Amino acid sequence: MIRSLVVVLALALLPDSPAALSAPEPRTSIDREAVKAVIMKHARLIRACYESALRRRPDLEGRLSVRFTIAASGSVTSAEVVQSTLKDRELEECVLGVVRRMVFPPHPEPPVVIVYPFVFSNPSSK
């Protein structure tokens, strides 16, 4: 039985993220708080991905960094895993699916690239 789990959501707009050191410099015109609010709105779906994975692998924990592009319209035009310690492709694909369906507030600039780290931890497995 899963008593509690922690999914830490942290925001890293490029180029501040260490994962972005080799990436081309993106535009960062979108408001960080707006991005965080949309991601937090989808936290329940991200958590559902993790809970599903925990049924298969009760000891599953780790970090998943996702790079995604937000078009001026607010839609996500691409999403990919840039780093993962999970070693669980099904969880990674589930999270990518949630991210791809997110809609952010429109912004005036060309597409914005974001790297967002999700940290998954299950305190009941300790």
Which two structure tokens, joined as six digits, stand for 15?
A: 């180029």
Inside any domain, residue 117: yes
Q: What are the pLDDT digits (tens) for 2-24?
A: 333 444 444 433 333 333 333 33
Q: What are the pLDDT digits (tens) for 21-37?
A: 333 344 456 888 999 99
The three-point CA angle 16-117-58 to 5° equals 160
Inside any domain, residue 61: yes
**Longest distance between any two alpha carbons in the chain, whole Å:** 47
Residue 54's pLDDT is: 95
The total number of structural domains that make up the chain: 1
Inside any domain, residue 42: yes
Inside any domain, residue 1: no
Which residues, including other chains, have CB under 8 Å from residue 35's CB and lie 6 or more apart?
A: 11, 13, 70, 104, 114, 116
Residue 66 is part of which domain span? 6-125
Helix (H/G/I), strand (E/B), else coil: 125: helix
> If you ran DSSP here, which 8-state letter would residue 104 be given?
P
Residue 75's pLDDT is: 97
**Global pTM?**
0.78
Residue 126's pLDDT is: 57
Name residues of the chain where pLDDT drops below 50.
Answer: 1-27
Dihedral pair phi/psi, residue 57, rounded to 5°: -135, 85
Inside any domain, residue 110: yes
Is the distance from CB of 46 to CB of 95 less than 8 angstroms?
yes
Is the distance from CB of 12 to CB of 116 less than 8 angstroms?
yes
DSSP per-residue letters across 8-74:
EE--EETTSSGGGTTSPPPB--S-HHHHHHHHHHTHHHHHHHHHHHHHH-TT--EEEEEEEEE-TTS
CATH number, domain with residue 118: 3.30.1150
